[in-house]
Amino acid sequence: MGLLRNSLCAMALFAASAGNAATLLEPTLHLKPHDVEGGGGRVALTLDACGGTTDTRILSALVDNRIPATIFVTGIWLKRNAEAVEIMRAHPDLFELENHGGRHVPAVDTPRKIFGIRSAGSPDAVQAEVESGAAALAGAGGPAAKWFRGATAEYSPSAIAMIRRLGFKIAGFSVNGDGGSLLGAKETARRIGAAKDGDVIIAHINQPTHAAGEGVVQGLLALKQKGMTFVRLDDAEGVGNDGTTD
């Protein structure tokens, strides 16, 4: 009987664990349809600055080619990249800085690991991650953040509700441009260059030694050559699922 009870307990724990895993959400985000002069369509480029340094290949290409972008920055990255922040602040028509959290901790309010990164693990810790990221941005000057994107871009539903109550829209995406900065240049360029009207692209600007950065630049220039218009999230109405923007 004890063995049976233990087996049933183990099955219940497994089911609970599977249930928790199934509740994680990776929200999408698209731009609302909008008439664009010339008919090339619109896309939003969003770049995560998780930690580390700055990929100047991407930053220079954005400035030189007048490509607007929404940059999701962590408190960690802000501390280490004052020069890049200064460049972005000097081009307010191009760069919109938004909240990627204080310590790059996934906004999941139960203890677990996502892509090897330990989650916030509790509602209080999710709130601290969001608020510390906003505070770091405020300390760096410029407008207050309106959008939040958590580390790994995966969330528990209850964390999404909390973040919305804190006053932030949650930035999903529709095109994973660089696979977490782990893809090669060719595949990254292909993915970004294939973006369609209304897409929101995610890539990374904090991995200067990765080949993906070269692909980001190539893909963006291909879109520009096609006549695509780039917009920041703050300049376009984005529609996300799972209660992330409504």
HSE-up (13 A, CA, CB side) for residue 34: 21
Burial class (CB in 10 A: 0-12, 13-18, 19+), 237: exposed
Q: Nearest 10 degrees: CA dihedral of 177, 138, 113, 29?
A: -40
Handedness of CA 125, 110, 100, 102 (dihedral sign): positive
Contact 117, 69 (CB under 8 A): no
Report the distance separating Cα 129 and Cα 67, nearest Å.
29
Q: Could you tell me the pLDDT band of residue 75, with boundaries at 50, 70 and 90? A: very high
Match 């922040």 to its residue by tokens: 85
Share of the chain above pLDDT 70, in %: 89
C-alpha distances (whole Å) from 100 to each of 149, 179, 186 are: 5, 17, 27
User: Across residues 140-153, what is the average pLDDT?
Assistant: 94
User: Across residues 113-131, what is the average pLDDT?
Assistant: 96
Which is nearest to 44 in space by CA: 231, 234, 242, 243? 231
Which is nearest to 99 in space by CA: 223, 8, 234? 234
pTM check: above 0.85: yes
Does position 6 have pLDDT exceeding 90, yes or no? no
Contact 173, 28 (CB under 8 A): yes
In this predicted structure, what is the pLDDT of residue 185?
98
Tokens of 121: 């693990």
Q: Could you tell me the pLDDT band of residue 146, with boundaries at 50, 70 and 90? A: very high
Q: At what angle do helices 56-64 and 212-225 cross, to 10 degrees?
A: 20
Does position 7 have pLDDT exceeding 90, yes or no? no
User: Across residues 233-243, what is the average pLDDT?
Assistant: 93
Contacts of 213 (CB under 8 A, 6+ apart): 55, 57, 58, 178, 181, 185, 204, 205, 207
In this predicted structure, what is the pLDDT of residue 40?
79
Contact 94, 67 (CB under 8 A): yes
Distance of CA 239 to the CA centre of its chain: 15
In this predicted structure, what is the pLDDT of residue 35?
66
Report the distance separating Cα 220 and Cα 194, nearest Å.
10
